[in-house]
Structure 1
Amino acid sequence: MNRIDKLIQELCPEGVRYEPLSSVGEWFGGGTPSKARTDYWENGTIPWISPKDMSGRSVIDSTVDYITEAAVLGSATKLVPANSIAIVVRSSILDRILPTAFVPVPAALNQDMKAVVPRDDILPVYLLHQLRSRGQEILRFARKTGGSVSSIESAKLFAFRLPVPPVAVQQEIVSLLDAFASLESELESELESELEARRKQYAHYRDTLIASPGSDTPKLPLGEFATLVRGNGMPKTDFTDSGVRAIHYGQIYTYYGTSATETMSFVSPESAAKLAKVEPGDLVITNTSENIEDVSKAVAWLGQEQAVTGGHATVIKHQQNPKYLAYYFQTAEFAVAKRKYASGTKVIDVSAKSLAKIAIPLPPVSEQERIVSILDRLSSLVNDLGTNLPAEIAGRRKQYEYYRERVLTFKEIAA
């Protein structure tokens, strides 16, 4: 920061001129070549940038679609020179974000976009940083043009003013922000790698403790030591604000973890009377899913009162440690076993009858409790890291945005 401050004092002590976007460089519009013209699209080599290419990217050096030279010559689409800044000016997301990106290669644009090639005294990446920093201000000009789609009027976009300091100041700002962004990316990668390593470590211990027991540990089919009760009914339209606690099979995928003491939903006593009963200590396991990985996910009900469940779920009643069984249903060994019984293509099903055939290692309940205690602690460590990681990343991004706003804000020179 001291280096930038010194340059400002040396090169522009009285302030920096603010200029409208219309004057920062040469602007290009977009267009969409006719899809009916195969010679416009087949074997194309020119990147054609559309809003979908801009999602989450700051540099666009490759695109989903490519067009031919014939498309550029024969349609309203123009070739934009390299080192341009592309902006989405018409989209359904312009109420939230202004997609902008640096384009280092010659490219053509979709009709919902514009691009500018900055003049010689404006660094393209400096302009990109400014547009990203001022994105929310520019989005104030976005207006609905039909349905959920918003558009930014060209005249208002071009009239928007940005500071243009000397090139030496721009270079120092770009160097600082790029270094900061690189450091932020490295730190995020390290945090995510640490979380992934913890998850793998946890899965290893879980599978070792449960699915790789000693030679004297018996393995019994689920149906030999438990009673499986298939649920039925309970559409979401039966849910009420209060009443009998209800575990819906779909919520086992999205809401519940290994165990639960509270339910997300309730049903009336009249509806509950027709549903499968879930006693404290029972497991509820899903029977259907859109993919093999999620089917047969289980939650142990540890609440103090009876709950109910409905269709696409099975209640497992037993005399074992409920969390031990719930943890087993997360192991790699169980994942292999359930594949043998899974049926269906678009909807995968593992029936209660099939589940009853799967053999599960059953050490004494005291040993099950010891294993659960270990896995609970490991799971807590992983969950804490998973909870703190987004907050840590968000904090670093806010810090970056603070410094970005600071270095990109200038006193305007007096007219």
Structure 2
Amino acid sequence: MFDTVKYNEELEYIFNQFPSYQKVGKVAYKPGIETMTDFDKQLGYPHKKYATIHIAGTNGKGSVSHMLASVLAQTGTRVGLYTSPHLNDFRERIKINGEMVSKEFVFDFILKWKPYMLEKKPSFFEITTAMAFDYFAKQKVDIAVIETGLGGRLDSTNVISPMLSIITNIALDHCEHLGFTLGEIAREKAGIIKAGTPVVIGEALNSTKAVFERVADDKGSLIVYAQSSLFKDILASDYELDLKGEYQTHNIRTVLTSLALLAQNPQFLKIVGEGWSDDNIRLGLRFAARNTSLRGRWEYLSQNPPVICDTGHNANGLKIVFSQLRRQKFKRLFIILGFVADKDLDKIVGILPKVAYYFFTQASISRALDSNVLASRCKGVDLDGLVVPTVAGAIREYKKIYKEGDLLFIGGSTFVVAEAIEFFEKNDNFFAN
């Protein structure tokens, strides 16, 4: 019988010995691919045993990755999917056709490579990337959708040679690592463009277009913009999607443009085989969340009363989320809000809905912004609310004052959303009790 206790101990070991960006933030960031290149070599270059699609971008790369993986799986293809961060289970990062990597594989990988890790000191993300590449090879996937962790040029995933690169969009986020202008950030993301490999750009401004075109020209790569492609007028509402949120309009344009470009590649058509059809594309999009187990994208945690969560966590993403939130029907709007400490609140507090009453909270991680600090900043721009230092506590406080017609939104941080999801999973029919 598998020893779950030992598994948890080994997993905790790599979290503590090799700190993750998810837990501790920028001190865990390790730019450069030298260590990953060596780790990759020790593993025997596993990613060369299957085709890959590489995805970077400030916002949207999670939805785009999962939509693509779902469509490819719908064709009957064996599809690996590597994303980050996870919400509640480390294994969410590494999936094949929606199924998480086994605990046994994670456990065995850590034990086997622990001496190497102690000697070479790879980052947490390098370890998980190596684990994903190795797992996909051992499980004989046909193709893998690989999402960057942070940036592109110096990201540890950037050892692969994909058949397609995708950059969803560029916005100001993680500026201390990637640059303080859109052009600087675009240069980092454009680092995933490979010689002779086509690239799809989901959204671009003039300042970022110039960067992308210069890099693509230097690499001899075809560049296609989703916002000026055949799919530029497509709306999310034109398709049945289980991934909700009006921002999915941008993502679905990127996905459809990418699929159209892939369909021109004979190697890709050989991989998807007879399953490649318009019907399977639509089905893959329709059931993307179900097929890949993606959570936290304009997701209803409760229908009655309505409770919506979303993992949007920077000014660009939250602006779109709050725009949609304002258009919902409600008598009173409540928001449970929490951020990580490295977010630029100056750019965020101005877009927070003033009609809402807030529960200022924080996730139970060291990176979390103190809820009292958040409350002080928000009350400085005349936002009204209450400090509740835990997500679970904030949900319970809302229950005390809820009335028919009220709407609750939970967001600001992936980690706040993760704790909210976990709370509702553990407290079924919470509002009925």
Query: Structure 1 length as normaliser, TM-score?
Result: 0.19
In terms of Rg, which structure is larger? 1
Query: Structure 2 length as normaliser, TM-score?
Result: 0.19
Select the structure that is richer in strand: 1
Select the structure that is richer in helix: 2
